[in-house]
Amino acid sequence: MVALLKYKVFVIAILLLIYNTTNAQNVGLDNISLQDIQRVKSLLDSNINYKSFAIRNSTFTQNFENINWKKLEVTNFSLEYLHQNNSTQPYGYNDGSIGTSVGTQLYINPQLNLKWGRITLQLSPEKTYADNSPIDGLPQNFEGYQNGDAFWRRYYEISENIIENPERAYKRYSENLYPGQSNLLYNSKTVSYGISTENLWWGPGINHSLVLTNNAPGFPHVTINTHKPIKTSIGNIEFQLIGGSLTNLDAPPTNNDNPFAAQYSLKKPSLDRYITGMIFTLQPETIKNLTIGIANMAYMYKKNMNGFEDATPFTNFTKFTRLKQRPALGSVFISYAFPKDHAEFYLEYGRNDRGATPINIFYDSIPTGYIGGIRKLYPLGLNANNGTIALNIEIVHLQMQNPNQIWTSNLSAKKTSWYTNDQVPQGYTNFGQIIGSAVGPGSNAQNLNIAWVKGVKKIGLGIERLVHNKDFYYYNYFNGLSYPGPNFKYWADLTYDLNFRWNFGNLIFSADYKLSDYYNYMWTKTGLGGIYGPSDTDKKNIQIVLAAKYIISKNKNNGSK
C-alpha cells in the first residue's frame, strides 16, 4: 500500500508540473471514447461527411498526403491518469486494462507517437494498481438450497465452467503492466499493415457492441485495416482483418471459496488461444449517411489449428464450428444519420454460434442477440457557443429467445449463451474479461443518457438497468417445471450516473459518480421481505472515477478525438 501511495503522489506531481492544476476523471478519456466527440460534431454540422464510426481503435490519426523519409517526427504526446474506487462491488465496463475490483484502482497511460515516412510507431503502455478488496457478496458457506437443490451445480454448468469471467480476478493487491495501446504500422494512402496491442471497437453502438469492444485489455494482433475510407463507384468502404492471441487469467471462478459451489468447479486447460476476425462496412454512394456492415470473430486453442484455414477469418461462417472446435460469432449492422435533424439510429443483430450474414441470422432456433439505439441532439439556439442537449437511448439483449436454446430435451444445459463455450471453456475473454458486450452471457440492459455537450465539454445524467444472465435464471428456476417458476428472483441492477468532462487548453478533466442498487444479488432472495419485498441479498455500490488527460498534438482533431 505504501508503494501505491508513493505512485499516486508521483503521478499527481507530474500532472501539476505539466499543467498548473489538480487531477480529475473518466467520462471516457481513452482514445476510443473521445472519438464520440467527432461523432457528435458530424451530427451537428451537415457539411461534415458523416463517418461510419463502426471501426474504432486507439491509433492516433496521421496525415499521409505529404511523406518525408528524411525526418523522424514526434506527432503526439499524451498522458492519462485515472483514480477509481468501488465501495462494495466490482463495477465497471469498457475500460480496457483497468478491470473491475472493489476498493481503489489507479491507472496511468503515457502515449508517444512517432512518424517516419509511411511508418508510424505508437508507444502507449498501461500501468494499473488495484486493492482488490473483498466483495460484499454471498456468505462463503451459502448452501444454495434457497434457490433449489441444484443451484450451484447448474450455475457452474451454464456459466463458470464455460467462461473465464470471475467477479474477483485477484484476491489481493495487484500491479499490472500492459503493452496497452501500442502499435507499429506501415501506412499506404488508405490501408495500414502492422502489429498492435491496442483496443478495438467494432459496431455502431455507443455503450455496447456484440463482437468487439474495449471492455478487456487489448490483445496482441496483426492487422490489415483502412485508416481512411476507400472511395469506390458503389460507395465508401472500410474494413479490418486481424489475427492474434488471447491471454488466460488462470484465476479461480466466482464463489470458488464456497465449498458448496467449488465442488462443481472444473479446471480449465492452460492452453494458448488464437483469435481471428474481420469487419467490413459500406456507405453506399446512392444513400448518403447510411452505413451497413458485417463483423465476425472465431477463437480456438492453437494446438487445434489447421494452418491457413484457421489462421484467417474467411471460414468463420462455417456451420461446422463444433466439429472444428473453433467457436465463432458475428453480426450484421446498420446505422443512419440525419444531420439536418441532428439525429442517428443504429441496429446490430448477431448470432453466437457462427459468423452472421444477412440471411442466416433469420434461421430458427439459433442463439441470437441484438443492440439498438437512437441519439437526438437539440442545439441551444443558433449560436454554437451555447452547446447542445444530447439524448441517447440504447438497449442490448443477449438472453436466449426460447427455452430450447437454454436446455436440451433431457433438461441439461445446452451451453449456447453468448461468449461461453464448453470446447474452449475460457470463452470469449481476455485476461478474464469479456471482449464483447460487458453485460455478459444471457443478460439484458437498457441505457438512457442525457447531457449538455459543447465540444469536449460535457455535463450529463444517465440511468442503466441491467438484468443478469436470464439464461441461467430460467435454467435454474423454470427447467423441467410443468407450471410457471418463481418470477421474483431475477437479479437486476439500477445504476444512476452523474458525469462531467471539461477541458482547459490541452488538459481534459473528467469525473463520474455512479450509484448502483443490486436487487436479488446472485438470483437470491432471503429475509422477511416477502415475495416482492426487499431482500437481505440486496446490495449497493458507489463508484467514483476521477481522471485527467494532457494532450500535445500536431493534429488538432486528435485533441478531442
Ordered by where they begin, the domains of the chain are 2-499+513-560 (2.40.160.130)
Which of 199, 223, 265, 240 is closest to 431 using CA atoms? 199
Whether the predicted pLDDT of 20 surpasses 70: no
Q: Which residues contact 248 (CB under 8 A, 6 or more apart)?
A: 164, 268, 270, 271, 273, 426
Q: What is the mean pLDDT of residues 368-395?
A: 93
pLDDT of residue 24: 29
Q: What is the mean pLDDT of residues 90-106?
A: 94
Whether the predicted pLDDT of 556 surpasses 60: no
Determine the Cα–Cα distance for residues 112 and 180; give it in Å rounded to an integer. Answer: 12
Of the two residues 480 and 90, the one the predictor is more confident about is 90
* Maximum CA extent, the chain: 77
Of the two residues 515 and 553, the one the predictor is more confident about is 515
Which of 130, 216, 217, 109 is closest to 174 using CA atoms? 130
Contact 51, 42 (CB under 8 A): yes
Of the two residues 369 and 10, the one the predictor is more confident about is 369
Residue 395's Cβ-count burial label (10 Å; 0-12, 13-18, 19+) is: middle
Question: What's the helix, strand, coil split of the chain in %, to 5?
Answer: 15, 40, 45
Q: Which residues contact 252 (CB under 8 A, 6 or more apart)?
A: 166, 265
Contact 260, 143 (CB under 8 A): yes
pLDDT of residue 276: 98
Assign 187 a pLDDT band (cuts: 50, 70, 90).
very high
Q: What is the mean pLDDT of residues 449-462?
A: 96
Determine the Cα–Cα distance for residues 354 and 371; give it in Å rounded to an integer. Answer: 18
Determine the Cα–Cα distance for residues 326 and 214; give it in Å rounded to an integer. Answer: 23
pLDDT of residue 537: 93
Determine the Cα–Cα distance for residues 432 and 216; give it in Å rounded to an integer. Answer: 8
The pTM of the full predicted model, rounded to 2 decimals, is 0.92
Average pLDDT, the chain: 91
pLDDT of residue 148: 85
- Kindly report which listed range (159-163, 325-329, 377-381, 510-514) carries the lowest average pLDDT score: 377-381
Determine the Cα–Cα distance for residues 325 and 73; give it in Å rounded to an integer. Answer: 46
- Kindly report which listed range (44-58, 227-241, 382-396, 414-428) carries the lowest average pLDDT score: 44-58
pLDDT of residue 12: 37
